[in-house]
Structure 1
Amino acid sequence: MGRASAALLAEAGAHVIAVARTASDLDSLQAEYPQHIQCWVEDVSSDGFMQRLSTLEQLDILVNNVGTNKPQPFTEVDSQTLDNILALNVRTAFLVAQAAASIMVKQGAGSIIHLSSQMGHIGAANRTVYCMSKHAIEGLNKAMAVELAPHNVRVNAVAPTYIETPLTQPMLAEAAFKAEVLGNIPLNRIGKVQDVAAAVLYLASGASNMVTGESLKVDGGWTAV
């Protein structure tokens, strides 16, 4: 989803800083858009990344696309899993947004887009920690939107359903699981990364100039049922 968003923003004319932990994930992306995409090989949870981010003189858009998950039954969630998910999905997302907002407040404009989830609006078995983390992002999204509005910084979220990615591929390869997922999506199809990227582009652009504090659900109607 991050790659698709970076590509679509680049195609729209943005100068994109794409961030990942491994250079191989970035090299092919930069090769496709050599004039529009700059690559940083960084761990976004590290102090080094936060310091590097804070040195930017201009930052108009942040796509806060950080997160992980490890589905487990609630009574079997171990403390390491709990700490890892909350540290990345909540703490790191908060700190990255905070660093970006500091730049945007100084320049008097900006758009922050959190990658949330439909699980930030509902509950689901075996996903208690993930749901908790995404509900936290939704709360952060609203509070940031209110506080940063006087500085002309808009804050929104994109909340996808199950999207076809390498992470979800093994789960969706199970016929029973895929049937269960489709049974909850009125549009009766799995989302594509391009669907998420289109929502990101809308919230990043002037087309959403009066939109802040919103969570744009890209869920095929799952949360409408």
Structure 2
Amino acid sequence: MSGELDGRHVLVTGGGRGIGAGVAEEAAARGALVTLVARTRGELDGVAARIVDAGGRARTHAADATDDAAMEEAIAQADAAEPLWGAVLSAGMNRPAPAAGYPMDDFDAIFAVNVRAAFVACRALHPVLTAHGGGRIVAMSSQLGSVGFPDRVPYAASKHAVNGMVRGLAVEWAPAGITVNAVAPTFVETEFTRANLARPEFRAEVLSRIPGGRLATVEEVAAATCFLLAPRSGSITGHVLAVDGGWTAW
């Protein structure tokens, strides 16, 4: 699979850490020029340096995914540097708490990042990819886009919304040659989840729901994402690819 993204330019939101960084590094290893987008310049520079040290190509653009104009500008500048082939929308957040009495400011913040920002990015990508004859969009969902889990109702609702958005866009944009898919991992140990997974009772609860008996890795999620980015995946659209060890299979 090395080289299957040669000559392709892929933009990755949330590219400064965790799954987004892992996806960017894998895409670069497969030959893509990667534009990393996140709020924190230092994190972006660190990921870009790892990519370059490994022989890959990377650009960085500091922008807040919830700032419509900033994201539109990030996409426009990336495409001006080298025509975009696709994008991975990996920016995300969660604020776990019981639903009863849940702070609505936190609810709104989750939807602003996980749903609205992804839609704004897709909307900005549409004319760019259409002008190039098509391309790939992959959104980062979750196994909680298909099931529920205690203390994560707003997050689960946001990922159900991502799955619906992906399917709707896939149908609407297929005539333009744009595929729109999602990857839905189970819990992956990253900066995003490490504190919760460090609690033995929580980790045991999570593992009890995974028939495979282990967490997914960043590398596994990145491989699935790059599969959907590949030119030969052109007949796959509107699909939510679970990388969950079988969590949603039962």
C-alpha distance in 1, partners of 2:207/2:245? 10
Q: Answer yes or no: is the 8 Å Cα contact 2:89–2:140 preserved in 1.
A: yes
Q: 1:155 aligns with which of 171, 180, 183?
A: 180
| Residue aligning to 2:204 | 179
Q: Matched residues, percent identical?
A: 38
**The 10-residue stretch of structure 1 (29-38 or 185-194) with the greater mean CA deviation from structure 2:** 29-38
Is 1:44 the counterpart of 2:65 in the alignment? yes
C-alpha distance in 2, partners of 1:71/1:171? 10
Q: What is the 5 A alignment of 1:164-175? A: 164-175=189-200
Is 1:118 the counterpart of 2:143 in the alignment? yes
Deviations 1:35-91 (A, max 9, x none): 510011111222223233235242111101121110111112111111111111111
Q: Answer yes or no: is the 8 Å Cα contact 1:20–1:41 preserved in 2.
A: yes
Q: What is the 5 A alignment of 1:1-225? A: 1-34=19-52, 35-46=56-67, 47-55=69-77, 56-57=79-80, 58-225=83-250
C-alpha distance in 1, partners of 2:178/2:74? 21
Query: What is the one-letter code of the residue matched to 2:199?
Result: E
C-alpha distance in 2, partners of 1:32/1:78? 38
For residue 208 of structure 1, report the CA deviation from its aligned partner: 1.7
C-alpha distance in 2, partners of 1:202/1:103? 22
**The 10-residue stretch of structure 1 (52-61 or 106-115) with the greater mean CA deviation from structure 2:** 52-61
Q: Structure 2 unaligned segments of length 5 or more: list them.
A: 1-18
For residue 21 of structure 1, report the CA deviation from its aligned partner: 1.1
Q: Answer yes or no: is the 8 Å Cα contact 1:108–1:151 preserved in 2.
A: yes
C-alpha distance in 2, partners of 1:169/1:123? 20
C-alpha distance in 1, partners of 2:232/2:206? 32
**Secondary structure of 2:139's aligned partner:** strand
For residue 166 of structure 1, report the CA deviation from its aligned partner: 1.3
C-alpha distance in 1, partners of 2:230/2:130? 18
Q: If the length of structure 1 is used for normalisation, what is the TM-score?
A: 0.96
Q: If the length of structure 2 is used for normalisation, what is the TM-score?
A: 0.87
C-alpha distance in 1, partners of 2:201/2:74? 45
C-alpha distance in 2, partners of 1:195/1:184? 18
For residue 26 of structure 1, report the CA deviation from its aligned partner: 1.4
C-alpha distance in 2, partners of 1:163/1:74? 23
C-alpha distance in 1, partners of 2:153/2:51? 39
Deviations 1:184-204 (A, max 9, x none): 000000111111100111000
Q: Answer yes or no: is the 8 Å Cα contact 1:44–1:50 preserved in 2.
A: no
Q: Answer yes or no: is the 8 Å Cα contact 2:37–2:74 preserved in 1.
A: no
C-alpha distance in 1, partners of 2:26/2:148? 31
**Secondary structure of 2:100's aligned partner:** helix
Moved over 3 A (4+): none
Q: Answer yes or no: is the 8 Å Cα contact 2:63–2:74 preserved in 1.
A: no
